[in-house]
Structure 1
């Protein structure tokens, strides 16, 4: 198969094709790298690898548009005409069509578009259709729907409605280019009679974020393992990876044979290694198999000796067999006395296991492939930590390059950490530069990746192994649950979906639903919230602003849920307590009146949506404290603002909240555990401490009494109403 293929057939009127010889990049207004191959409309394979500023997630295979996979040669031309029209909507022929799309197709998506067209056209060919005018709804469209509705690899597993809708849409959109395409459906025919692809596939579009968060049962061990790998294993592995890179550079320069004058030095070096008890390096399994195929005796004591690496390290030369045979007696003595083991991670420093803190070597001797697998695992651990604690999208993670970290010293030991990346989603092809403000944990994780790779400035960090986040996660999970991970005491990570999208959603919900959740308790949720807010303020149009919008939406939904839950408790006799309880109860009572009032002879439907609408205004005033709710309706009544002397503030200062005295604070059953834990902690740590001074003891007693008073109020509020 060649890229420079035959010229496209002429159009039906025997004139030169209007797209004949058109340069794809020029027609689409796309920039190409210097000396890049330039695809032409006439080519049967469009090579887009020369695209300048292509996103990292646009893999190599997505840049090869192979039209020869379409069985019918005439339909290859149709596919090229259609995709050219989508890429270059300003071309005079395309611009003259009233039904053609006016927005250029993003080159990142064109591979999928061709894949769907190929499947449709080949389905028709297999059904015996020679011309698009023969396509029939019952015989061809319905059978195609049944074909694409189930996965090829897993016939028992259905395809998602959104994917089915995309396949159907590709069959329908061809009709919009009648007059441009050299062949089209019969006049008046439209697949599925003009019904929308979404309705046929049963796909319901929504503006709500429906990505499920990562379950805590998966998130907890994943993050615990990831931080252990980054902080404990990462620095030691980086040193070993550096040594491996140095050996690679030495091996590249070792292209000459061993000189006769260098053999005494090599003999001396081997004798010293033997005297020091250093094991000989082991040859890879592939190397051993090659030696056996070349006639080596399988019982040869030197069969597994990595002779070339010995010569390379000592003399910077290539190790040939003639050199080995000359030194065979010395080498056999070395192997017999010291043995053979893998070259990497020997004499590993002791580190504590993650599970029981037992001191073990951070790694056992491994071969080069196992060292690479460990390096990939730590890099992947950093990838998911950055995703989980920054909210960056997968496309933005893959655009991170060496030298993208910045650290600003704000004084008093306070730093602001930023990551420079590129914003791809919602932007023109290639994206634009964007900055993310992150916490120190994320800064350290990315720093570990840079040290592992010894990355040069501008070098992509997360595209060397796989730019598919799902595949990256599967490999990381298997490694964590495998022998190496279990030797380190890593927690077993259960099966389940994990992706940057799900982790972004998890973080948004964790911040919105504070103070609940794993990350709130363990990973400085307050700092996460501050970092994302700083990023939003610094770049209002950036994607960190979009992430803050997701948080705000989730926060609004969570506050409404909590308000409705408090109202439902009220209806069941579980009243709130605290200084703001009377006002909150009055609001709930007014809602009751509205719900129960109706005109004579008219029925009133009370559903969840109506209750939420009535409580929405109250929910908008809710701020969630560590052990209380703050209904911030009047800044002048807010005790925290009075203490801080900022009466004009638009939000409460939750960190200064004294919910036992504030007239806008309430306590509910959900807060009882927090107050009980607080009271027990004060009793154990302070009141039970004989070394406490009298003033300190007095303050602790006041705190303990206040906690018990609030506990009593919470208990009595529910009991009083029930009685």
Structure 2
């Protein structure tokens, strides 16, 4: 039996040695000689990390385009590479020569990668239905069968079907530039992708508001962590760094006398493992915290000064235990004077059992998460825009505190933007900046200072909720009910509050000066401000309470013979209104 030789691929309009990125701004590192950048001839994957700028909220994996999985056949692999190349360089001379005329702006890298993913699904369906490995061999009815399969068999929403429809129409548009061609005709002539998918723009967004029973305890907890607990964590962290900076190299003969001198100091405290605590505070052991004790006496915290495997180590352990029996002062952490809280059972005590190095590692991350929670709940910034906050971003804008960051969604040039903020948000940014180990970014992973990885907003919210609930017995904070929350939900909730209830107690305290105008700036954001039945009754009561407090303040000023305002309306209200109240009430 003779195996037929594979047919050679048709010649592409692009050269194999051409760089993929020709129309986007390259990072400086990608301009250096010898730096590897994606080339059109690369058939396995295109990695755009370090080549073009990646938004801070995106992971490294989301910036790699896989050309193997589902696209390994030579025909589909070439088509996928050509589609991406055309989208990355729409005004490439060979694209124009092929008769394809697209808008001059190149597609965003994320859009190119997403199109590649959608094409993979189209290819998979075609392979399962016996379709040829080239788009010009598909009929218009085949593409309509595919979108019907998405909607009926797979149950995809109209918005998702619209995305696939847009890709198919784009494949037809750029078909002359593809070696295997594109769809010969538009399967939906005279219709937009939205019309073809029967996608109707709803007046209300599908994104739900954060329920009030979650919003209130979550925001209160975030503020408590940022305002009350964070100073303790930062003090403990700074002391931990100072202790590490004082570590000395002791000889075998000098460490024991140094230990004796340390025990003789009345200010020294022997560190003990904290009493049993919730899981998120770390696994606990009983007795002396030997690792922290080594750090206290300036010895290597990972050394063998108190090792049970040596005779001299056991003798030092016995000496410390003797000091404990004699009443030597103890501690359960790096600092002692923690903030005091009142717990649900009425008792008062420190908010944490002991800030030792193990607990500190977790709590530093949770402080960052609490700061993120406050910013996303009270600033109306998008998740991507919060991740773009850089060090020194707290500024004054028209004599009001503001955050300087960058717009991402729908703004290719990434213009600078100022968000007016309240004092709690400013304090949250300050805490996050003090904790961050990244050279530039405020909200970034905390383990590797030079990491380009992203800290995911939804995960930060999830981790913070778990921390609050697990530690409520110590912190006295109200547990947060279960339920889905995301950064986008907080943005919509804040828009609803500032539009529907501008005089409410919440809006009076938290409303941002620009929020209402920004939330209602265009049609797509009208749904953000839609009323929510979960909040309606609660906020109506808040409006009544706010009005009563205002009236009470005015009445108090009138009774003390102070002016409540100036002009005819103020005099009328003071004379005919407040005087009548005083006479009726008999006060």
Q: TM-score, normalised by structure 1?
A: 0.61
Question: Are residues 516 and 686 of structure 1, via their aligned partners in 2, closer, same or farther at CA, if it must alter by over 3 Å?
Answer: closer
Q: Are 2:40 and 1:55 aligned?
A: no
Asked whether 1:77 is paired with 2:78, we answer yes
RMSD (Å) for aligned C-alpha atoms: 4.9
Say if 2:17 and 2:41, in contact at 8 Å, map to a contact too.
yes
Paired position in structure 1 for 2:64: 64
2:318 aligned to 319, 333, 343, which one?
333
Distance 1:149 1:354 in 2: 54
**CA displacement 1:593-615 (0-9 Å, x = unmatched):** xxxxxxxxxxxxxxxxxxxxxxx
Question: Which one has a larger percent helix, Structure 1 or Structure 2?
Answer: 1
Q: Does 1:461 align with 2:461?
A: no
Q: Give the drift of 1:173.
A: 2.7
3-state SS in 1 of match to 2:176: coil
Please report how far the alpha carbon of residue 343 of structure 1 lies from its aligned counterpart in structure 2 after TM superposition: 6.9
Q: Give the whole-Å Cα distance in 2 for the aligned partners of 1:221 and 1:242.
A: 30
Cα distance in structure 2, aligned partners of 1:470 and 1:147: 28
Q: How far did 1:207 drift?
A: 7.5
Contact 1:250/1:316 (<8 A) preserved: no
Q: Does the 8 Å contact 1:480/1:486 carry over to 2?
A: no
Partner in structure 2 of residue 181 of structure 1: 178
Partners of 1:26 and 1:313 lie apart in 2 by: 59
Q: Which residue of 2 aligns with 1:562?
A: none
Q: Structure 1 stretch 222-231 or stretch 132-141: which is displaced more?
A: 132-141
**More off after superposition, 465-474 vs 190-199:** 190-199
- Which one has a bigger Cα radius of gyration? 1
State the partner residue of 2:352.
363
Take 2:305 and 2:289, find their aligned partners in 1: how far apart are those partners? 11
Deviations 1:20-62 (A, max 9, x none): 2111233545444254532211223212111354321232112
1:242 to 238, 259, 267: 238
**Is structure 2 residue 460 aligned with structure 1 residue 472?**
yes
State the distance in 1 between where 2:23 and 2:9 align: 19
Distance in 2, matches of 1:123 and 1:306, equals 62
Task: Please state how far the C-alpha of 1:262 moved relative to its aligned partner.
Answer: 4.3
Q: 1:406 is paired with a residue of what secondary structure? A: strand
Q: Which residue number corresponds to residue 521 of structure 2?
A: 549
CA shift for structure 1 position 354: 7.2
Per the alignment, residue 255 of structure 2 pairs with 263
Q: Is the contact made by 2:382 and 2:487 (CA closer than 8 Å) also made in structure 1? A: yes
Residue 424 of structure 2 is matched in structure 1 by 441
Is the aligned partner of 1:495 residue 2:482? yes
Q: Which has the higher contact order (CA 8 A, sep 6+)?
A: 2
SS at match of 1:179: helix
Task: Give 1:277 deviation, angstroms.
Answer: 5.7
Residue of structure 2 aligned with 1:163, choices 156, 160, 165: 160
Counterpart residue number, 2:392: 403
For 2:372 and 2:145, the matched residues in 1 are separated by: 43
Give the match's secondary structure for 1:549: coil
Contact 2:366 2:464 in 1 (8 A): yes
- Report how many residues are paired: 533
Matches within 5 A, 1:354-393: 358-365=347-354, 368=357, 370-393=359-382
In 2: Cα distance, 1:235 partner to 1:198 partner:
52
Alpha-carbon separation, structure 1, partners of 2:546 and 2:305: 73
Aligned to 1:107: 109
Native 8 Å contact 2:294 2:300 kept in 1:
no
Give 1:232 shift: 0.9
Q: What's 1:88 paired with?
A: 89
For the pair 1:33 / 2:29, whether they are aligned, the reply is yes
Structure 2 portions without partners, runs of 5+: 1-6, 275-284, 447-453, 532-538, 564-572
Distance 1:407 1:143 in 2: 54
Return the TM-score normalized by structure 2: 0.74
* Deviation for aligned residue 1:166: 1.8
Q: Identify if the C-alpha distance between structure 1 residues 30 and 11 changes in structure 2 by more than 3 Å, giving closer, same or farther.
A: farther
Q: Is the 8 A contact 1:39 1:47 kept in 2?
A: yes
Q: Could you tell me how far 1:233 is from its partner in structure 2?
A: 0.9
Deviations 1:258-316 (A, max 9, x none): 6445434554367559996613569xxxxxxxxxxxxxxxxx999x9655982696235
Deviation of 1:518 after TM superposition, in Å, equals: 4.9
